[in-house]
Amino acid sequence: MIKVGIVGSTGRVGSLLIDDLATDSEAKLSACHVYDELKKPVPEGTVVTNDMGALLDASDVIIDFSAPVATEALLTQIVENGGNKPLVIATTGFSKHQQNLLIEASKKVPILYATNMSLGIAVLNKLVSLASKTLKEFDIEIVEQHHRYKVDSPSGTALTLAEHAAKARDLDLDSVRVSGRDGDIGARTKDEIGVMSLRGGDIVGRHTVGLYNDGEFIELHHTATARNTFSKGAIKAAKWLVNQDAGLYSINDCLGL
């Protein structure tokens, strides 16, 4: 059995990971990182700790659905304190410093980083690359919709979709991304890529990539209808990652896309 440790174990996705691992035939829960207390029951012998080192020691692989500062503490344990376990990182909203730390850590251990663990979004990223490259004259606008509790914006998935679109057109996303329009803003420029956020209710996650031209447009939609799409995707990624060498991997590597 593959021993899985969780960072963010009290969270919306973290608690689903606990449930999914309870019925998995190849992986089981070994440790939970918590800041406060874990209210949910876990199997006897599960290490419940606020120490990232203890979490790593008790596990073959870590799955992280938490918050950027918590992921930073996990990565620091690898980079500075000799931690040495594969990491599946799903947390979004990293700063440049945190992104660099992730790259640094991936020189020491295998890391799979995916802003979205669903198969559908993995395929959508590829479709967006193709459409953006082929439909050169079309304006690209991305809209993401999430539940009222989501704290980062735009979503990590929307930013990854936008990166695929920008790369397909040889554009630097930081230079062309527009994530708000208000007032006398003038006409849309050709290269800009709009990435807009809606928040409300219990929406698990919906992403729309629109490519608009005169006389026609295409809209590609993905909707996550159940949050365990992400927990199950991450467990699948963890099983794959335990057999990989140090390096930075994407969900496409795991899915063979």
Report the residue number, 171 or 209, with the smaller CB distance to ligand NDP. 209
| Helices 96-105 and 68-79, packing angle to 10 deg | 40
Strand-pair category, 47-49 with 177-178: unpaired
Q: Which of 156, 233, 234, 240 binds ligand LZUJQKHR (CB under 6 A)?
A: 156
Q: Could you give the CA distance from residue 93 to residue 152 in angstroms, rounded to a whole number?
A: 6
What is the per-residue binding string for ligand NDP in 109-138, x denoting contact by CB under 6 A? -----xxxx---------------------
Q: Which of 55, 63, 90, 254 binds ligand NDP (CB under 6 A)?
A: 90
Nearest to 33 by CA among 58, 7, 65: 7
Q: Which of residues 31-50 bind ligand NDP (CB under 6 A)?
A: 35-36
Q: State in angstroms the smallest separation of the CB of 243 from ligand NDP.
A: 21
Please tell me whether residue 66 binds ligand NDP under the rule CB under 6 A.
yes
Per the CB < 8 A criterion, the answer to whether 211 and 218 are in contact is yes
Per the CB < 8 A criterion, the answer to whether 205 and 223 are in contact is yes
Q: Could you give the CA distance from residue 253 to residue 199 in angstroms, rounded to a whole number?
A: 31
Indicate which residue of 28, 150, 167, 239 is catalytic.
Answer: 150
222 part of the active site? no
Indicate which residue of 33, 146, 222, 232 is catalytic.
Answer: 146
Positions marked active-site: 146, 150
Residue ranges of the annotated binding site are: 8-13, 90-92, 114-117, 147, 156-157
